[in-house]
Structure 1
Amino acid sequence: MPNDALRVAAIDLGTNSFHMVIIEESPEKGIVEIDRVKDMICIGRGSISTKMLDEESMQSGVAALKNFLVLASQHGVTRDNILAFATSAIREAKNQHEFLRRVREETGLKVKVISGMEEAEFIYYGVRNAVKLRATNDLLFDIGGGSVEFVIANQEGVKLLESRKIGVARMLERFVTVDPVSEREITLLEQFFSAEMVSSVEAAKRLKVKRAIASSGTAENIARMIHSMHGRESEGSLNSSSFTRSEFERLYRTMIPLNSAERRKMSGLDEKRVDLIVPGLILVNILFRMFGFEEVVVSDSSLREGMVLHYLQHHSSSRPSSEEEIDIRRESVYELGFRCNWNQRHSMQVARISLQLFDTLAAEHGVDEHYRELLEYAALLHNIGTFISISSHHKHSQYIIQNGGLRGFSPSEIEIIANVARYHRKSPPSEKHPGYLALKPKHRHAVDVLSGILRIANGLERGHRRNVERVEMVEKNGVLVLRLSTQFEPEIEIWAADQLKSLLENVLEKPIAFCRA
């Protein structure tokens, strides 16, 4: 671990499960996840109505925390940098002090019990570091075991924080008595959810919320089941993926009539959520109905990630303040570059030239402005595959981008960036390549254009001397002439670009030539 790196572990003692995430933060690499672990303790089992944590659950909880601390120690996390927050079930238990005393005596860990509003605020910190918030307001909701947190926020900050006692374990214990769930129990749950969400719905209408972002195990399980129903693999992160109202309704109609044994066979469903998913599905159905959303975006970052980020804001000089706007997409790209020991100066020069080419050729390629940003990120990351091997490094770059945990991008955007980087050299895009073929037709066309531009930009930085300062295009007799403003004679740059221009020529259906301005 570098001397200037800081490792932090955050433990979330939730109603259903205890989670721990371990991260490393350093000035260059930013935040890197080292490990994460989950144990479905179900500390809230039976305590929703009795307000008492049972003995078995407390013993299991202490044992899980002991294991977490051993793992944190093995990863080099000091005790001073281990955070532990307890939420709804422990917060409401009459014997919470007994459990917290045992934890402290047997593990040395001091657990802080946080309020529902604090929980909502930490969730906001976590989500905004994983999904790019918009200028318009978004609704963030996190479905826990004991409570559900609602946050309305945009890229400037929080507009509303609410916590409601409608978590899935609480609702399962209170309302669901038969398996499969009965129509009467569904109606009771719907009525209870609706009554509890009135103020959030009114605020969402007043603040003109258009999009929903969900962060929780329930939401991820729903997304994985939907992916499975569509025959899509979803073993990795689902961050910034989404599911539509119609996709959800199809899953809902399939799942609700099933009993627990039948639900257990559903691909994508965590075995320990077989019963909890029932009130979860009913809740999400009501959310779609009351808020009028047509789509829900998934965030894989939530409370514990927010705990870490909040901690780092007070313990790391390199992190922005909580009120400072974060460009998570750019930050994430730079972090991945640093993790792969990128040549930053070369990559930034290639990106700068790529954007100039995109702009000066805009009338020729006609690609939507949205793809300009993706071109820049592909250019910044085009060479990171050399971290694995120089040979076929374009293919390694594609793989790293696809699996590097980029934050703030939708899955389709990551695939576009990865494909553009993959085609910056060697063979051009081809429908024989599964990754390219899987793209939508409009995305394939964008990849054709962007990778053609990136090839030329890479050629114009062939000598790694940042010679090209500006690129402008003039058309002469049907030829697109790219005029280069340079510091020195650009023989090597023009020679290299000439070798790489054929893809863009084919896409634009016009010849390309180069000259010094």
Structure 2
Amino acid sequence: MPEIDGAPPGRDGRSPRPGDAATAPQLYGALDLGTNNCRLLIARPTRDGFRVVDSFSRIVRLGEGISRSGRLTDDAMDRAYDALSICAERVAKKNLPSERIAAVATQACRAAENGPEFIERVRVGTGLRLRIITPDEEARLSVEGCRNLLDSSAQAVLVVDVGGGSTELSWLVRADQGFETVGWMSAPVGVVTLAERHPETPDDPLIWYEAMVAHMAAAIQSAPVNGTVKALFDEGRAHLVGTSGAITSLAGIHLKLPRYQRDRVDGLWMTRTDCEAAASLLLDLGPAGRARNPCIGPDRADLVMAGAAILEAVQRAWPCERVRVADRGLREGLLLERMRSGRRRRRRSRGRR
């Protein structure tokens, strides 16, 4: 899937005019090294958020095989290192100082015995200082990145961030100042780990798919929220926000796009029936058909069904008719947080002067 602008709807993506250079806001960067992807976003602040200047995304499968060995493999580390080297070059070209770039690593480096060793290799070789974040920080940042997709008329929202090695779920309820998080959990099931645990077989695709759904269902059965929140879902007063490549791929299938288009997908509302129909179509396509589909491609062909199964398990546990698709998440949350930190530093500096 091609990399796209990570700014929320309404931002035109226009680069500043040459005459604006002296007064243009400073650039900021966010780098997210996940279990499956390495993604970089460089942007400048605007009044309503940010405008993207440069972006990069590559599937690296850093967590490949980790569920069996507990270690990052040499091939996976080499793939991720090559992608991170490109990110470091782009950061250097933009002259981004360290205080204006946030670089994090998630589940693969958290879980792997040699994760810290790889982080040190990256620091020495590229100059990038990756920080391994905790699951709760990952969930919080994903919510921040998706916050302007929350429907203000809803009473509750469940943000589902499907990663390669884990899935973060955050329950929010409406309060006086918008939505506040009332519970979260990190399920140790992602598209890479689930696909590795349940390799596709030609015998009975539906049985294979349902086995993945059951695996995820078992991982999320002890949600850390009370019955009041569950009642809001049962009463139809809540919606889901789904953020991941697997869920955006489902949206592309639903829209029958000839190629992936971020402006058509990000912010799209889908019904539960729409999600189920898209998953059924993908199942019918089989591995070769999914690999040929322009919204999926060979790199995601074996992972998209795992993502659909994760979403299906969540929808069965927390039923609601509406799902909002987010082509944004942790990386955008990182970027917005770093920009807020920069504004606070400038205010303190002006105060001292």
* TM-score with structure 1 setting the length: 0.57
Q: Is 1:61 equivalent to 2:84 in the alignment?
A: no
Structure 1 residue aligned with 2:305, among 258, 278, 282? 278
| Equivalent residue, structure 1, for 2:44 | 24
Distance between the aligned counterparts of 1:211 and 1:29, measured in 2? 24
Q: Is 1:312 equivalent to 2:332 in the alignment?
A: no
| Equivalent residue, structure 2, for 1:225 | 253
Residues 244, 14 of structure 1: alpha-carbon distance in 2 compared, 3 angstrom cutoff: same
Structure 1 residue aligned with 2:221, among 198, 210, 234? 198
Alignment of 1:110-121 (within 5 A): 110-121=129-140
* TM-score with structure 2 setting the length: 0.82
Contact 1:225 1:267 in 2 (8 A): no
- Residue 306 of structure 1 deviates from its aligned partner by 0.6
Alignment RMSD = 2.5
If asked which structure has higher relative contact order (CA below 8 Å, sep 6+), I would say 2
Alignment of 1:313-462 (within 5 A): 313-317=340-344
Structure 2 runs not aligned, ≥5 long: 1-20, 347-353
The one-letter amino acid paired with 2:342 is H
Contact 2:258 2:294 in 1 (8 A): no
The one-letter amino acid paired with 2:306 is P
The one-letter amino acid paired with 1:157 is E
| Equivalent residue, structure 1, for 2:281 | 254
Contact 2:88 2:127 in 1 (8 A): no
Contact 1:180 1:259 in 2 (8 A): no
| Equivalent residue, structure 2, for 1:429 | none
Distance between the aligned counterparts of 1:106 and 1:18, measured in 2? 17
Alignment of 1:91-110 (within 5 A): 91-110=110-129
| Equivalent residue, structure 2, for 1:5 | 25
| Equivalent residue, structure 2, for 1:188 | 211
- Residue 296 of structure 1 deviates from its aligned partner by 0.8
Residues 181, 11 of structure 1: alpha-carbon distance in 2 compared, 3 angstrom cutoff: farther
The alignment covers a number of residue pairs equal to 317
Contact 2:149 2:324 in 1 (8 A): no
Deviations 1:154-210 (A, max 9, x none): 423211121111111010111225257644433332222112222339644155461
The one-letter amino acid paired with 2:328 is S
Q: Is 1:160 equivalent to 2:180 in the alignment?
A: no
Distance between the aligned counterparts of 2:83 and 2:56, measured in 1? 10
* Counterpart secondary structure, 2:27: strand
* Counterpart secondary structure, 1:296: strand
The one-letter amino acid paired with 1:308 is L
| Equivalent residue, structure 2, for 1:263 | 290
Deviations 1:77-109 (A, max 9, x none): 223322111111111000112211110110111
Distance between the aligned counterparts of 1:193 and 1:105, measured in 2? 38
Q: Is 1:235 equivalent to 2:244 in the alignment?
A: no
Distance between the aligned counterparts of 1:173 and 1:191, measured in 2? 15
Deviations 1:32-52 (A, max 9, x none): 111211010100111122111
Q: After the TM superposition, which of the residue ranges 159-168 and 207-216 deviates more from structure 2?
A: 207-216
Distance between the aligned counterparts of 1:89 and 1:179, measured in 2? 29
Percent identity over paired residues: 25
Distance between the aligned counterparts of 1:215 and 1:187, measured in 2? 22
Distance between the aligned counterparts of 2:102 and 2:310, measured in 1? 30
Distance between the aligned counterparts of 2:282 and 2:160, measured in 1? 22
Residues 134, 33 of structure 1: alpha-carbon distance in 2 compared, 3 angstrom cutoff: farther
Distance between the aligned counterparts of 1:158 and 1:195, measured in 2? 23
Deviations 1:394-428 (A, max 9, x none): xxxxxxxxxxxxxxxxxxxxxxxxxxxxxxxxxxx
Residues 126, 133 of structure 1: alpha-carbon distance in 2 compared, 3 angstrom cutoff: farther
Contact 1:143 1:215 in 2 (8 A): yes
- Residue 212 of structure 1 deviates from its aligned partner by 0.6
Distance between the aligned counterparts of 2:232 and 2:273, measured in 1? 25
Contact 2:232 2:238 in 1 (8 A): no
Deviations 1:297-336 (A, max 9, x none): 01222001111122222221499xxxxxxxxxxxxxxxxx
| Equivalent residue, structure 1, for 2:327 | 300
Distance between the aligned counterparts of 1:4 and 1:182, measured in 2? 54
| Equivalent residue, structure 2, for 1:485 | none
Distance between the aligned counterparts of 1:177 and 1:254, measured in 2? 16
Distance between the aligned counterparts of 1:112 and 1:181, measured in 2? 42
Residues 135, 316 of structure 1: alpha-carbon distance in 2 compared, 3 angstrom cutoff: farther
Q: Which entry has the higher C-alpha Rg, 1 or 2?
A: 1
Residues 30, 119 of structure 1: alpha-carbon distance in 2 compared, 3 angstrom cutoff: closer
Contact 1:221 1:270 in 2 (8 A): no
Contact 1:135 1:156 in 2 (8 A): no
